[in-house]
Amino acid sequence: MAAKSKSPQNKAQRLDFPTPKGILLAIGGKESKSEEERPESQEENTSFVSEQILKRFVKELQGKDPLVLVVPAATNDPEPVAREYVKLFRDLGVDTVKIVDIRTRDDAKDPEKIKLVDKAAGIMLTGGDQLRLTSILGGSLFMERIKERYMNEKFVVAGTSAGAAAMSTNMIYKGEAQGGMLKDQMSATAGLDLLKNVAIDTHFIDRGRIIRMAQAVAQNPGCIGIGLEEDTAILVKKGMEVEVVGSGLVTILDGMNISSTNIYEIEAGDPFTIYDLKMHLLGNGKTYTIPAFNIEESDEND
């Protein structure tokens, strides 16, 4: 009998922090390929995804007649984006879909909008500009309620493109579209911190973003880099158990065993060096376990 394949993972001990009961679905996006609609800010990227991924989102929802919230806060033109998602979800059998129009930080503390989070089974953060999204939602009452439900209930939080990039601890929000090999060619800040010890980047292969992700990992090797190609997603349970969903590849960059890097020594504008950066490429249905931190277990127990 053939041996079962193991998902690639580090020998890492778990930190003693609460395990989320909810589910994350981070989607790499799939937008028009015209040059006019490919700004680095992703502002015009509406990122509609395939039925396979959205069907999985719907499958994970709890309860009869589940309420789904569509939050287009990442874009400055939210109405057409939100309406399209309402149609997509209703076509998939979700009858109750509401748009939560949040354009300012005042909107994000509206009690009526927070009550909708209490009633929902899942939420979709649409594409656009991830820095806009975190600037509006980060630290807000609306976002804190989402986190509470995600930590304590089987609540599903999905995000596509900007909505996916903002989920992680470290968030890449700017960089050279086909570069990143020079120090300071990419910029990162704090994300919404739904997914610990991870940095997510989207449109990963299509836009040649592997080098800028490598720079992000070099700056913080304890952070796993996850690159999502278009029409491809990761479904995350327990805050660490990853399953790939979709037609493309997920790229994992693991820097925990980097032997050396010169990222801290070189000047801005110089190319950086990394030795022993590990990479995994995962297709549909494959799994991966996000390590909690970089202390290896002893090989004596192997």
Query: What's the pLDDT at 182?
Result: 76
Tell me which residue of 246, 254, 248, 242 sits closest to 280, measured CA to CA.
254
Query: What's the pLDDT at 170?
Result: 87
Question: Coil, strand, or helix at residue 239?
Answer: coil
Query: What's the pLDDT at 163?
Result: 94
Query: What's the pLDDT at 295?
Result: 38
Tell me which residue of 87, 81, 143, 139 sits closest to 113, measured CA to CA.
143
Contact 277, 213 (CB under 8 A): no
Query: What's the pLDDT at 178?
Result: 55
Average pLDDT for runs of 10 along the chain of length 302:
46 61 93 39 52 94 96 93 92 96 97 97 95 95 97 97 92 68 80 92 87 90 93 95 95 95 91 95 96 48 41
Residue 273: CB partners within 8 Å, gap ≥ 6?
A: 260, 261, 262, 263
Report pTM.
0.85
- 23-32+39-292: CATH topology is Rossmann fold (3.40.50)
How far is 128 from 135, CA to CA, in rounded Å? 13
What residues does each domain of the chain span? Answer: 23-32+39-292
Query: What's the pLDDT at 48?
Result: 62
Place of tokens 């990442």: 74
Q: Report the number of secondary-structure helices (H) and strands (E) in the chain.
A: 7, 16
Query: What's the pLDDT at 180?
Result: 64
